[in-house]
Amino acid sequence: MKIIRFAIIGLLIGLSSSYTIVTFNLLADSNAPITGKELFEQVIIAAILGIVIGLISLIFKTERFSFTLQLFIHFIVVTICVFAAGNIGEWYDVTSIATIISLLISIVVIYIISWGIALLLQKRDIEEMNLFIQKRRENL
């Protein structure tokens, strides 16, 4: 069940991130047409990438490595996966360092936003658990 949960969360993050990036790219270059077929291909790539990243996130459920090492490994593997998917989806020009840096910046920004949301949700869950425990202690 945990694997499915991580895959679905990754899928949703991947799709929402790719939609945002495609939208900003089209806004930046209004002359760049995109066909339905191309958009569908990008959605499939983003969906697969999201699921893969979600599954990679299972590394945080292991206790073999410190959190810092887990985070480092996760970021490196995510970056490799995004660059591979970007190469398949032609998200950047391999010969242009500017587009590669732009993609790397996008990865970092999405990574930070995703972690920020995850931390907020976790904080909310912890507060709910503490409230539940506090109420239970009061009833004893």
- 0.85 exceeded by the pTM? no
47-105 residue pLDDT tens = 898 899 889 988 888 888 888 898 889 899 989 998 898 888 877 777 888 888 888 88
Res. 21: pLDDT tops 80: no
Tokens 């190469």 locate to 87
Could you list the residue range(s) of the whole structural domain that residue 29 is in?
2-139
Write the secondary structure of 42-95 as one string of H (helix), E (strand) and C (coil).
HHHHHHHHHHHHHHHHHHHHCCCCCHHHHHHHHHHHHHHHHHHHHHHHCCCCCC
Percent of the chain past pLDDT 90, that is, above it, reads: 7
Q: What is the pLDDT of residue 14?
A: 79
Query: Considering its fold, how many domains does the chain have in total?
Result: 1
Residue scoring higher pLDDT (85 or 16): 85
